[in-house]
Amino acid sequence: MQKRLLGKSGLEVSALGFGCMGMSFGYGPPKDKLEMIAILRAAVERGITFFDTAEVYGPFTNEELVGEALAPFRNRLTIATKFGFDTSVDPRSTKGGGPVLNSRPEHIKEVAEASLKRLRTDVIDLFYQHRVDPDVPIEEVAGAVKDLIREGKVKHFGLSEAGIQTVRRAHAVQPVAAVQNEYSLWFRRPEEGLLQTLEELGIGLVPYSPLGKGFLTGKIDQATTFDSTDFRSTLPRFAPEALKANQALVDLLDRIATQKNATTAQIALAWLLAQKPWIVPIPGTTKLNRLDENIGAASIELTADDLATIEQAAAKITVHGNRYPEKIEELTGR
């Protein structure tokens, strides 16, 4: 697979990464461990070198899965994980039922030590702040990661769902290699200044949910139901009326896919790859055929005319529904 540089950090990874969360967390019950290990190793065999996890996925179980699956190939891979939540507090016990943030420097260092053990490694390649903590100045967060880099426990610093000014302030203390924000044809907020800022500063973008949490694959419609353990069951954008209204976006992708002898998912990923050479999407999957489908997107060439056609059609489509419930949405874009 082709490689890409995440900005000016020197961090080179496969053009498509692998988002591991759904194997253990978020999209229904945890999947069979041995099957997931086989999928992750198949991804390595197919040229994927960039894997994304977090301590909060499970919590802990996803990092353990990734650590076990990738241990035989560790020296040729880039593994990203995240800090920023207090996993000792049950969100259900909090006011509003939301997750509890904790990016105090001492906590960041504790999380790093625990993640290193679960990932079976002596260094974290890319360490993201998972969500911005309004109670801790971002300069202190960047300083704590800078210490970990100096100690050889972390190689690169990242931010997730951070706003433009937060990125600038953090980058001034410790260069940010990558920002991981949601970005796809049905969530385009990064185009409102963030992409321009990242280009200016030489920072890569790692879009999570590049397939719209599965919606842009064309396999979900208003009749789709979700298990209570699937977090999409709580998302306004996945309510039946929103899914029906948003189908126009899938129809657009399907028209382009037919012309290119591709799938809607492949066109959605190819569109992201065509936006900037320093964008590396991280689609996740639990199925081998979907892994191969995703990888196929990296070889699809969208011409300037193709991109213009998509842009003109997408501009006429209004996406319906918030992407998260209000409590979660508050944690994004600070």
Half-sphere exposure of 301 (CA within 13 A, CB side): 2
**CB of 219 closer than 8 Å to CB of 243:** no
Residue 91: its pLDDT value, please? Answer: 72
Position 149: which residue type? I
Among residues 57, 128, 183, 208, the one annotated as catalytic is 57
**CB of 205 closer than 8 Å to CB of 179:** yes
256 DSSP 8-state letter: H
**CB of 290 closer than 8 Å to CB of 266:** no
The domain locations on the chain are 3-211+276-301
Residue 330: its pLDDT value, please? Answer: 74
Residue 274: its pLDDT value, please? Answer: 98
The phi-psi region of residue 182 (left if phi > 0; otherwise alpha if psi is between -120 and 50; otherwise beta) is beta
Per-residue pLDDT of the chain (334 residues; tens, 9 = 90+): 999 999 999 999 999 999 999 999 999 999 999 999 999 999 999 999 999 999 999 999 999 999 999 999 999 999 999 999 999 987 776 776 678 999 999 999 999 999 999 999 999 999 999 999 999 999 999 999 999 999 999 999 999 999 999 999 999 999 999 999 999 999 999 999 999 999 999 999 999 999 999 999 999 999 999 999 999 999 999 999 999 999 999 999 999 999 999 999 999 999 999 999 999 999 999 999 999 999 999 999 999 999 999 999 999 999 999 999 887 877 776 6
Residue 332: its pLDDT value, please? Answer: 76
Which H or E run contains 19? Answer: strand 18-19
* Active-site residue flag, 208: no
Which tokens is 299 given? 């070889």
Q: Return d(Cα 71, Cα 41) in angstroms, integer.
A: 10
Which residue carries 């489509």 as its tokens? 317
Q: Which residues pair with 50 in a beta bridge?
A: 78
**CB of 128 closer than 8 Å to CB of 158:** yes
Which residue carries 């028209």 as its tokens? 255
Task: Report the predicted TM-score, pTM, of the whole model to 2 decimal places.
Answer: 0.97
161 DSSP 8-state letter: S
Residue 314: name the closest of 208, 214, 185, 206 by CA: 185
Domain 3-211+276-301: what homologous superfamily?
Answer: NADP-dependent oxidoreductase domain (3.20.20.100)
**Residue 123: partners with Cβ closer than 8 Å, 6 or more residues away:** 116, 152, 153, 154, 155
SS3 state of residue 72: helix
* Rounded-to-5 percentages of helix, strand, coil across the chain: 50, 15, 40
Half-sphere exposure of 311 (CA within 13 A, CB side): 11
List, in sequence order, the alpha helices (H) in the chain. 33-45, 61-70, 105-118, 138-150, 164-173, 194-201, 240-260, 264-275, 288-296, 304-314, 326-329
Beta carbons within 10 angstroms of residue 72's beta carbon? 9
Q: Return d(Cα 281, Cα 169) in angstroms, integer.
A: 25
Residue 177: name the closest of 12, 9, 4 by CA: 9
